[in-house]
Structure 1
């Protein structure tokens, strides 16, 4: 029997989903700061565009669920938004953690992508974008060089032509679609594997053993500690 210790798998990057949505309101400056304080090197946030063209952090198309005002964000000027909805430029200034900017397909993606790219450039901050095909086409049109994690919700392989067009750094599926075979397929296309949203520690360990590169979680601090053996 060999006395050699087993090779320890590298710990995947753990991305804090909407900051820390367990202890703070999701997509707020408090949630981002809490996630960074707990060790997050990357924080995922969702973007929307106001009526006067500002990028703000919010997942939903309206402010009803979190803020109790049932109006589309796109119909509200920035000054009309509920107190607590942050501007992207303020979020970029709030933390040294790298932000993963999620662009939805149900907003005018071209306008939102251009605005987000512009804010990041003005701030001089290196960001990453994620989202589905239409949104990422808008991002790539706005910035030929920015990093993209391409969200993909089926087991159908990414078309080679799309990979060539968008040049994503990763295949970014729901974690349920990730197994050994799908990882091999992504690797053959030169892609990392980043997945979402994993709150179960046992599943996170399975994914780490499979060799995924990044895991997005609502409980990022707990997963990070568990995978690092703390």
Structure 2
């Protein structure tokens, strides 16, 4: 089985995560899809950011929290230099186009995918807990409707570790594909009883590696499986062996090459 190769926060091994540059590089590498995390700003915009605060991607503003900031404030941030801390000392480093390295809105990412000459899948993770609760999913579904992407055939799936969040998505857009993420093998028996028959399941690759029994139960079950974060040939081989249909990776160029070669 040829799994779909999905770029985790873009080509994030080499380029600062969640930036337009990372996503464009992932598309150039032949990634079938793009994965992103979304958070809601204080003025109601969905932005592609993983952490609740800025301590990792903009250390000079470490104490600020995404949900308390407006989009204009985020636009002024350098969220890429943490990935290349010595770039200013490298005379041979390529010139950086700063327009490709700022905070990215989800709307812009959707536009990039919509304008691409081939179909690009989007795996969008809503982050919880958040002060805005269900407003995140409502904003997300509204935005997807603007693109006509709130149905089963849309190139979009919504992911979350929060079962409640995915229930909200299904109430708002009953046919939209959803992925129940989980990272601890003992959670699976309870989740299996809670999720819908057509829900996709998203285990971490570490759990599949460390718990072969879980891997084969998922392989033999009725749910489609998407695994994260698959970065090595060995991890990819396991995913292919158990029939994982999508692998989310920091290394889309490498993993796509491996998939195409076998």
TM-score, structure 1 length as denominator? 0.86
Name the residue aligned to 1:49: 40
Is the contact made by 1:89 and 1:123 (CA closer than 8 Å) also made in structure 2?
A: no
Report Cα offsets for 1:130-189 as digits up to 9, x if no partner: 11123222322332111001102222324454223xx55321111122265434433565
Q: C-alpha distance in 2, partners of 1:123/1:137?
A: 22
Is the contact made by 1:110 and 1:139 (CA closer than 8 Å) also made in structure 2?
A: no
Unaligned runs of 5+ in 2: 77-101
TM-score, structure 2 length as denominator? 0.77
Q: C-alpha distance in 2, partners of 1:198/1:184?
A: 17
**Aligned length, in residue pairs:** 219
Q: C-alpha distance in 2, partners of 1:117/1:29?
A: 22
Q: C-alpha distance in 1, partners of 2:159/2:169?
A: 9
Is the contact made by 1:105 and 1:134 (CA closer than 8 Å) also made in structure 2?
A: no
Confirm whether residue 94 of structure 1 aligns to residue 85 of structure 2.
no
Q: CA deviation at 1:124?
A: 2.3
Is the contact made by 2:227 and 2:239 (CA closer than 8 Å) also made in structure 1?
A: no
Name the residue aligned to 1:130: 159
Name the residue aligned to 1:118: 142
Name the residue aligned to 1:3: none
Q: CA deviation at 1:59?
A: 0.4
Confirm whether residue 103 of structure 1 aligns to residue 132 of structure 2.
no
Unaligned runs of 5+ in 1: 1-9
Taking the TM superposition and a 5 Å limit, the aligned residue runs for 1:16-55 are 16-55=7-46
RMSD (Å) for aligned C-alpha atoms? 2.0
Q: C-alpha distance in 1, partners of 2:189/2:218?
A: 8
Taking the TM superposition and a 5 Å limit, the aligned residue runs for 1:1-230 are 10-68=1-59, 69-70=61-62, 71-83=64-76, 84-95=102-113, 96=116, 97-107=120-130, 108-125=132-149, 126=154, 127-132=156-161, 133-155=163-185, 156-164=188-196, 167-178=197-208, 181-186=213-218, 189-229=221-261
